[in-house]
Amino acid sequence: MTAARTLPDFENPPAVETVMGVHFAPISKWQPPYFGLFWARIKSDYPRIQMQPPVLPQAPDLAPAQPQSPWEFVRCWFFNQDETRLIQIQNNLFLHNWRKVRPAEKYLHYGDLRPHFEKEWQGFREFLEQEALGVPKVSLCEVTYVNHIDRGSGWETFADLSEVFPNWSPKTSENYLPSPELVAINASYAVHGVEGRLQISAQPAIRQTDAKETIQLTVTVRAKPSSSSNEDIYRCLDEARKWVVLGFTDFTSPKMHRIWRRKI
Amino acid sequence: MSSAVLERTCARMESPAHSQWSKVRFLLAAPWVLDVMKGIAALGHLPRNWDGYGSPQIDADGIAAARRFVANVAFESLPSPHVSPVLGGSVGLHWRCGDRELEFTFHPNGEVEYLRVLGADSDRDENMETGTLRHEPETAGLKLLLWMVGAR
């Protein structure tokens, strides 16, 4: 992961959070006490926990699936003291999040984060093996970048949105409607090279930590790895990340790229 | 109201569970939040002695606290509050839902006071309750707002 960067890169990107992880077939023997056993292994790095509602399962055909057992309704968060790193586990999911808590914090690139994911994922696999819970049959790899494009940084009203997202137009047929008060965009693209989808969502939002108005631009790729081996999972994550970065760059305007100080 | 109603209301407040950790309130689910945010921010432009009785300017920390509060507690079925300046430089948010009323005051010292009133006859003391939300005012405030909309 130390190779020279060839993908678009920004000095001051709007990314506030990166998620990478894997979805797998439900572990049939999984029960809630295993959350505690796993926590004992990682508690020194992730001393805080929180129970959460589940992430909806993703079936191999990339359509939402029905829960297979009651344990799918439990997800556990394990996070570090300064709330920058998070491991999310449910019986069919392992995700690793990094988020920027303070605005001045340095943005961590995928190349900085993937080794952390590899370490934690390998630790989880070893835990499953030790507890005789089996080897996860991985159906999907996921990479998500969450970006906050704050009001005042390239846009002032939703009439300016075409300056942020070139595929949006404020034009109407008969000029009856005023400028939109709010706009949300959802788009889905087939990914080439691996079997998967790229989903982009731009949602007007208020950030809860500082009550600032922002457009949350979420770019997610979920794709099928060739096998459940770590090599194929990491290869699939790399491909997913490539699509996320290129998709983000393509979806946003050159004007915004200048604001985010595009390097390559 | 039954707890089942509370669960349904809570489910509407949150976006579907997803992998994201950063917390935001999506505006399409509660567009009134935008107007309220602007209303609270506008209080910062009031001059000293805005009430003619020598009140100071509205405190910037109180404004920030009220905006954070709204960003954290807003949900789809919550009506829009009335925003007002309060004597002494504080920010007031006032909600009414049927015969229930809730008032929050965000003081310059960081304290959040509330007043809740139940019943048409708001002059009766037994219909009123006051208190101070010192820690995590958003969590306690949300419980009060759920009470107001009849979800608990």
Q: Where are the domains of chain B?
A: 3-14+31-148
pLDDT digits (tens, 9 = 90+) for B51-106: 999 999 999 999 999 999 999 999 888 999 999 999 999 999 999 998 899 999 99
Best residue in A56, A107, A208, A222 to probe B by mutation, most B CBs within 10 Å?
A208
Taking only Cα atoms into account, the Rg of chain A, rounded to an integer number of angstroms, comes to 20
pLDDT digits (tens, 9 = 90+) for A145-161: 999 999 999 999 999 99
Any alpha helices (H) in chain B, and if so which ranges?
Answer: 3-13, 32-42, 60-73, 137-148
What pLDDT, on the 0 to 100 scale, is given for residue B123? 63
Q: Token pair 């048409």 is at which residue?
A: B120
What pLDDT, on the 0 to 100 scale, is given for residue B115? 96
What pLDDT, on the 0 to 100 scale, is given for residue A170? 87
Which residues of chain A have a CB within 8 Å of the CB of B71? 206-208, 211
Which residues of chain A have a CB within 8 Å of the CB of B25? 205-206, 208
A95 contacts B37? CB cut-off 8 A: no
User: Cα separation of A35 and A54, whole Å?
Assistant: 14
Q: Is residue B125 classed exposed, middle or buried when 0-12, 13-18 and 19+ CB atoms within 10 A define those classes?
A: exposed
Q: Is residue B115 classed exposed, middle or buried when 0-12, 13-18 and 19+ CB atoms within 10 A define those classes?
A: middle
Q: Where are the domains of chain A?
A: 15-259
B61 contacts: CB under 8 Å, gap ≥ 6: B108, B110
| B interface residues, A as partner, C-beta within 8 Å | 16-28, 31, 33-34, 37, 64, 67-68, 70-72, 74
What pLDDT, on the 0 to 100 scale, is given for residue B120? 67
pLDDT digits (tens, 9 = 90+) for A222-252: 999 999 999 999 999 999 999 999 999 999 9
Q: How many CB atoms neighbour CB A118 within 10 A?
A: 17
A142 contacts B26? CB cut-off 8 A: no
User: Cα separation of A127 and A33, whole Å?
Assistant: 13
Element (H, E) at A226: none
A184 contacts B21? CB cut-off 8 A: no
B23 contacts A209? CB cut-off 8 A: yes
Taking only Cα atoms into account, the Rg of chain B, rounded to an integer number of angstroms, comes to 16
Which residues of chain B have a CB within 8 Å of the CB of A142? 19
Element (H, E) at B29: none
Element (H, E) at A254: helix A254-259
Residue A63 has pLDDT above 80, yes or no: no
Best residue in B12, B18, B22 to probe A by mutation, most A CBs within 10 Å?
B22
pTM of full prediction above 0.90: no
Q: Is A218 on the interface with B (CB under 8 A)?
A: yes
